[in-house]
Amino acid sequence: MNDTEFIHDLVRVADDADKLSGLRARLAVAAEREGILDVAYRVLDAPVGPLLVAATTQGLIRVAYAREDHDAVLQQLADKVSPRILHAPRRLDLAARELDEYFAGTRQDFDIPLDWRLSAGFRSTVLHHLHEIGYGRTASYAAVAKLAGSPKAVRAVGTACATNPLPVVVPCHRVVRSDGAMGGYLGGVEAKRLLLDLEAAA
């Protein structure tokens, strides 16, 4: 293959990608107009790596790190929420803007509505209390267990944080061990450290 043929092939691939992108956008608009788009998603570039964000008409339902396997996350959403799921970035514009502002250090609290249906019971109780840990601060798993009304449920707090469907937005990264050690994090220890350092710097 000579250079000219190679360039033509690249142009063809780019044209096909543009057509596919345009088709997806039209499909998303049509699905939303017809009321058959139950879950919209997009992937954002972030300092912690690509984040998949998904929303229903009720609000943001999922934030997922790449290490969680975005394809698997989409399948879980299809199974647990609705199979009517599409790449529809426009519905996630507000979430994308607020996350960008957070990573830029100009936002400390998120205002976007949340769809909490992927958490229930004590896990949901724990997650609803995490906003009480202020920006730039941390709390131990034991302290969060007390906040949630079950002082002995330290392990259950760890499980709630490890299965948080809305990391970053619902700040499970602010929960650390009693000795000050990081503890685990579904986005990985490096991501947790980056988020805590970002907040401490601001």
H or E element that contains 28: helix 3-33
Q: Copy the structure tokens of residue 59.
A: 């609000």
For this structure, is 161 an active site residue? no
CA distance 59 to 11: 39
CA distance 194 to 202: 12
Q: Is 109 helix (H, G, I), strand (E, B) or coil?
A: coil
CB 172 within 8 A of CB 164: yes
CA distance 43 to 65: 10
Taking the mean position of all CA atoms in its chain, how far away is CA 77? 13
CB 157 within 8 A of CB 141: yes
Taking the mean position of all CA atoms in its chain, how far away is CA 85? 16
Q: Which of 64, 172, 191, 195 is catalytic?
A: 172
C-alpha distances in Å from residue 127, one per residue of 7, 107, 192: 52, 20, 17
CA distance 113 to 158: 25
Q: Which residues are catalytic?
A: 172
